[in-house]
Chain A
Amino acid sequence: EVQLVQSGAEVRKPGEPLKISCKVSGYSFSTYWIAWVRQTPGKGLEWMGIIYPGDSDTRYSPSFLGQVTISADKSISTAYLQWSSLKASDTAIYYCARQWGSTWFDYWGQGTLITVSS
């Protein structure tokens, strides 16, 4: 069974760093792209970027380039999304999802709620 299990909800202050995770099981982690998708009430679902764990090829949406870093550790089948300095506007639910190349998302994590507030 394919599963993407994300780390738990976080509460942080503006300016703090954060790294959230997405652990994959049930398929070969290295051979499918993993995407990160942000969900907010105002902007809905937004594709942030994608990584191919096999060679760490990473691509970002122009809206998120320079704002976040996507990485992966093949040895533990885990993808990561990190911020060096959070803003209040980063408050959202973040999903990891398996993406078929540059197409659709067939499996999703349960989501990680990030709250950034002073």
Chain B
Amino acid sequence: EIVMTQSPATLSVSPGERATLSCRASQSISSNLAWYQQSPGQAPRLLISGASTRATGIPARFSGSGSGTDFTLTISSLQSEDFAIYYCQQYDDWPPRFGQGTKVEIK
């Protein structure tokens, strides 16, 4: 069973600043990783697949990197709508599993 660990649990960032979120897999998952954003009261929204490919309509300020066990989601300049919870999800192993999330809050 692959365990996904996200850090930090909460990230306090000022609008306009950069946010860097981490996701670590308990074993190598190649680039089989997706990132999602969940705003309050909303369903998750796909941001990134294949560790670094932005989904349709996702702004360029969101970028993903990494392979193997260590992955990063970077938001280059936080906008008000970006304050939300972010989840990573591995799909290298079955069943697919999510991390516990990182909450990005306004500093």
B interface: dominant SS? loop
8 Å CB contact of A104 from B34, B43, B97: B34
Q: Does A117 contact B (CB under 8 A)?
A: no
B43-A103 in contact (CB<8A): no
Give B15-55 as 1s and 0s: 1 = Cβ < 8 Å from A's Cβ atoms: 00000000000000000101010000011111001000001
The size of the chain B interface, using a CB distance under 8 A, is: 21
Q: Which residues of B sit under 8 angstroms from A111, Cβ to Cβ?
A: 43
Q: Does B71 contact A (CB under 8 A)?
A: no
A45 and B6 alpha carbons, distance in the complex (Å): 13
The size of the chain A interface, using a CB distance under 8 A, is: 19
A102-B49 in contact (CB<8A): no
**With A45-B44, A95-B44, A109-B43 known to touch, is A104 a contact of B98 (CB < 8 Å)?**
no
Q: Which residues of B sit under 8 angstroms from A45, Cβ to Cβ?
A: 44, 87, 89, 98
A97 and B45 alpha carbons, distance in the complex (Å): 10
- What are the nearest 5 A-B pairs in CB distance? A108-B43, A104-B34, A45-B98, A61-B95, A103-B91
B: residues with CB less than 8 A from A are: 32, 34, 36, 42-46, 49, 55, 87, 89, 91, 94-101
